[in-house]
Amino acid sequence: MPFRIIRNDLTRVETDAIVNTANPHPVVGEGTDRAVYMAAGFEELLNERKKIGDIPVGAAAVTSGFALPCRYIIHTVGPVWKGGDHGEVKALSSCYRESLKLARNLSCSSIAFPLISTGYYGFPKDIALETASSVIYDFLMDNDMDIYLVVYDRDSFDTSEKYFKDITSYIDDNLILTSDSVDNSMFLRDEIRSSGRAGKARDSISEHINRTEKTFQEHLLELIRIKDLKNSDVYHGANISKQHFSKMISNRDYHPSKNTACALAISLHLDLREAGILLAKAGYVLSRSSRFDLAVEYFLINRMYNIVNDNLILYDNDLELLGKQ
């Protein structure tokens, strides 16, 4: 999965590179910076950091990973929050962008970020999350890399209050808890009716089973053509790997997980009915008895097609992330 949110200690994450929230001067700061030095080897890392010298706010530089389970430590200097009118968001965006660019130049296939500037520097967590997800999403549209956002505890992860409240209310208002409830399967029924083949009970079994329609793969390829999208737009937008997507479009009989089908519906910018037809091709419907399904329905109705932001919201509601393979 190209983008994941994990709860862990950054110094224990096994990726090609981790990002350290560095002091602008070659001295050891507090919080994440000090934890990275202690885990990597204090003196060794400090000596290499001194060779770099000062790092401007928004810039990034690299050292060896030393004793950490990564090849590289990318040091970036985040902005101090001063109310939002002093270019803080632009500087924070630069931290993520420059770190990703450096990781790409180092041929890294994976990188782990902390939530930059939200500790001692006082950056509001909701704005920091929105900024990080925007830069990560833009990067993944043109690059293949596994990107991890590492949060240490639950309090470190507050998504937009508006989205959090809206989607939680939507799920609570629409969730059907009874086990024998009727699922939202109207899309599948409509698809059957539209084929003009409902009610032909007198057909022979051989006639019935040989009356095949487009497979999921064929329907997906048709949607990509109709929407005038590139393959890279689709697999990046669905948070799935290029390799998995290649397998998907090269196999007529490919059968996706429900999670993958939902991720593709969002990547293709489908409306609720279009998404229902795509899901039906794989044998799925959006269920009123599933909180995850209701969240996906909410995203589709409100045209929330940025899967990175959607996954932040899913995480905050203790739901699985889109793009799981």
Residue in 9, 16, 33, 180 annotated catalytic = 33
In 3D, which of 4, 310, 5, 7 has the Cα closest to residue 160? Answer: 310
Using the Cα atoms of residue 50, residue 56, residue 57 and residue 61 in order, give the sign of their dihedral: negative
Residue located via tokens 């000090």: 34
Q: Which residues of 80-99 are buried (b: 16+ CB within 10 A; e: fewer)?
A: ebeeeeeebbebbbbbbbbb
Can you tell me the distance from the alpha carbon of 116 to that of 19, in angstroms, rounded to the nearest whole number?
Answer: 9
Can you tell me the distance from the alpha carbon of 322 to that of 312, in angstroms, rounded to the nearest whole number?
Answer: 10
Following DSSP, what letter does each residue of 149-172 receive, concatenated? EEESSGGG----HHHHHHHHHHHH
296 near 286, Cβ under 8 Å? yes
Full strand arrangement of the beta sheet holding 60-64? 3-7, 146-151, 110-113, 17-21, 72-76, 60-64
3-state secondary structure of 311: helix
Which one-letter DSSP state was computed for residue 10?
Answer: G
Can you tell me the distance from the alpha carbon of 304 to that of 291, in angstroms, rounded to the nearest whole number?
Answer: 17
CA Rg, the chain, in Å? 23
Query: Is 33 known to be catalytic?
Result: yes
Residues forming the active site: 33
